Amino acid sequence: MPRWRAASAAAAAFAVLVLAAEAATDGSGAGVAREGAAAPGLPVLGRTSGRAQPLARVEPPLARKRRARGTLAGLPTRLAGSPPLRSDPAGTFFAAAGHGVRRLSATRPGRKVALIFDDGPGPHTPAVLRELRRAGARATFFVLGREVARRPADVRLVRDAGMELGSHGWSHVPMSGLDAPAQRREVALAAATLQGAAGLRPRLFRPPGVSWDAGTARAVSAAGELGVLHTIETSDWRRPGRQALVRTAEGVRAGGIVAMHDAGGDRSQTVAAIRPIVRALRRRGLACVTVSELLGAPPPGASSYGFAELERRLAASPR
């Protein structure tokens, strides 16, 4: 079956999946369809068959781990295919560790940085992809479940452009203000929606507004995802001007993460800043890669850039 056909079949099923997940999160833990073939203890990586599993038959991951181990120790603190991450109190990644939280960093990031785009997909997402393509850069898109449900085709565009997709939760609510079941529901709904729309499970979670606590780390780790923070916030949502965005972003150090937005308002300054940012970083010998690549894992999703659909969409767009 062609990939796009599998994806549309999955998209047709995902509304049902989301509703079922909502019904399954009544305090008993979030229900997320998981693939069976993954190595135990590691996040599930890559594409799925696109067929939704009935959530009623899927055991809540957190409850299962509690029963099996008594604690949350042993939850994943690395990505599939990556070297183990190192403990680092100032690290830009987080995971649950026992009843607490562990901050983590890449072991050997090399001369690499990650550009990330939050809050999408939105009307500017195709233009962001176009600029990344022109710059020859990869990036990671932390998408909102509720926006994925509105614009599933744009999520497939991101995937097919060879970019990484991570989760930004379902509704952009500050996670640290939520109780544990609500946090698990945010994580599970976003993952189920992304799986339905694009046929892949997120393995990265970025808390909206960088609002997170130990409960967030537990919910994220139990779902097999790794928490992602940033080292530079460009505040592009304030629209400070293209030059200011470039100046802020080019201050990133090797191994760092630069946060921007591809949705949530007028993102034309962000779009215009992408190529100058990539050029400025390249002059310093820094390559723009996905978050997974920053951690030493293979690039996720498409093995080659599939831009034919992106070109068609941009040509048809009034912009």
The residue ranges that bind Zn ion (CB under 5 A) are: 118-119, 208
The long-range contacts involving 54-59, CB below 8 angstroms and separated by at least 24 positions, are: 54/20, 55/17, 55/20, 55/21, 55/23, 55/24, 55/31, 55/192, 56/20, 56/24, 56/31, 58/31, 58/32, 58/33, 58/34
Q: Can you list the alpha helix ranges (DSSP code H) found in 179-254? A: 180-198, 214-222, 242-249
**Min dist. Cβ of residue 259 to Zn ion (A):** 9
Element (H, E) at 105: strand 100-105
Q: Which is nearer to Zn ion, 202 or 208 (CB)?
A: 208
- Angle (CA) 81 116 294, round 5°: 30
Q: Which is nearer to Zn ion, 119 or 225 (CB)?
A: 119
**Min dist. Cβ of residue 119 to Zn ion (A):** 4
Establish whether 160 is a catalytic residue: no
State the CB neighbour count (10 A cutoff) for residue 90: 8
Which backbone phi and psi does 205 adopt, to 5 degrees?
A: -130, 130
CA atoms within 13 A on the CB side of 157: 26
**Min dist. Cβ of residue 74 to Zn ion (A):** 30
Tokens of 175: 């996670």
**Min dist. Cβ of residue 211 to Zn ion (A):** 10
Strands 100-105 and 93-97: antiparallel
Of these residues, 168, 230, 261, 262, which one is catalytic? 261
Cβ–Cβ under 8 Å, residues 96 and 221: yes
3-state SS assignment for residue 193? helix
The residue whose Cβ lies closest to Zn ion is 118
Q: How far apart are CA 72 and CA 156, in angstroms?
A: 34
Of these residues, 118, 119, 160, 262, which one is catalytic? 118
Q: Which is nearer to Zn ion, 118 or 236 (CB)?
A: 118
**Min dist. Cβ of residue 207 to Zn ion (A):** 9
Q: Which is nearer to Zn ion, 48 or 167 (CB)?
A: 167
Q: Which is nearer to Zn ion, 118 or 262 (CB)?
A: 118
Establish whether 118 is a catalytic residue: yes
Catalytic residue annotation: 118, 261
